[in-house]
Amino acid sequence: MTSDPLAARLGIPSGPLFFPVTAYGPDGGLDLDVYRAHVRAGVEAGGAAVFAVCGTGEFHAVTPEEFRACVAAAVEAADGRVPVIAGAGYGTALAVRYARLAEEAGADGLLALPPYLVKAEQQGLVAHYGALAEATSLDVIVYQRDNAVFTPEAVVQLAAHPKIVGFKDGFGDLDLMQRIVSAVRGAGHEDFLYFNGLPTAELTGLAYRGIGVSLYSSAVFCFAPDIALAFHRALGSGDDKTAARLIDAFYRPFVELRNQGRGFAVALVKAGVRLRGYEVGTVRPPLHEPSEQQIEELAALVARGREVLAEGAGA
């Protein structure tokens, strides 16, 4: 257990950031026993933090009661070894409600997902995330994607808030991200954290590292932690040869498979967790499951990734 601030606990990338899937039983309801086992396995495998009920965890698909139960289960499974960050989203009123539920459940911080549906001006977005940050004692990471894309000036305003500690980019414009990093640094917020939050972030890890963004979310860590950890070590140590081999043999073809279906950034990952032996159930509608052939292709890709690891170990 530690009382260190969230930013300090996240700032040193000791391992991939773990985004567990949410487990459902045969009746479609939560299976918290399987969920705890899944979270516990990820922490023990080397995940640096648990991001509970976020995008990969189907935040959009759970009720507030299920959300609180999952966050509490993640906190129990992590047992203080790594921080637990919970998703919070929708409009301001609901986002605040989810934030308070996360705080009650023992979370260490919040990942602020985009507001529901509407496209707002920058001042509205800044006000929304400011209100969310003021609602609880928890520190906040703002997630840029979809209808929440920021100017550098707006991110400077966010970074000035004492409880907004980081910025996760799921938009993928490196020019914009470089300008954001530069503007925030120029405003004196040297400790502000940045995360690569693109789906399968490893594919763009080398590019983001080039602008100083070393933290990233890893959905692959859910179902192939050995591959994800090997890539994380290679990226962090400058072993670009190993990183490139894993990109060529595993990550690029995985992304091509993922791109075969909308929502496969969640559904294919959940299928991978089932392949690993955790009966986490299927995704809830409106997402849909990959085909048996696609799941077989995923299993073959994981096997190929492990062959590359073995080849490297024997070199």
The catalytic residues are 143, 168
Which tokens in the block code for residue 71? 């966050």
Please name the helix (run of DSSP H) or strand (run of DSSP E) that holds residue 246, with its range, or none. helix 240-246
**Closest among 264, 271, 202 to 55, alpha carbons compared:** 264
Q: Is the peptide bond before 286 cis (omega within 30 degrees of 0)?
A: yes
**Separation CA 17–CA 218 (nearest Å):** 6
Place of tokens 């859910």: 222
170 residue type, one letter: G
CA distances (Å), origin 20, targets 151, 217, 221, 249 = 30, 11, 9, 24
Question: Would you say 136 and 100 are in contact if contact means Cβ atoms under 8 Å apart?
Answer: yes
CA distance 227 to 305: 7
Using CA atoms, how far apart are residues 216 and 133, in angstroms rounded to an integer?
A: 22
How many Å apart are CA 151 and CA 131, to the nearest integer? 19
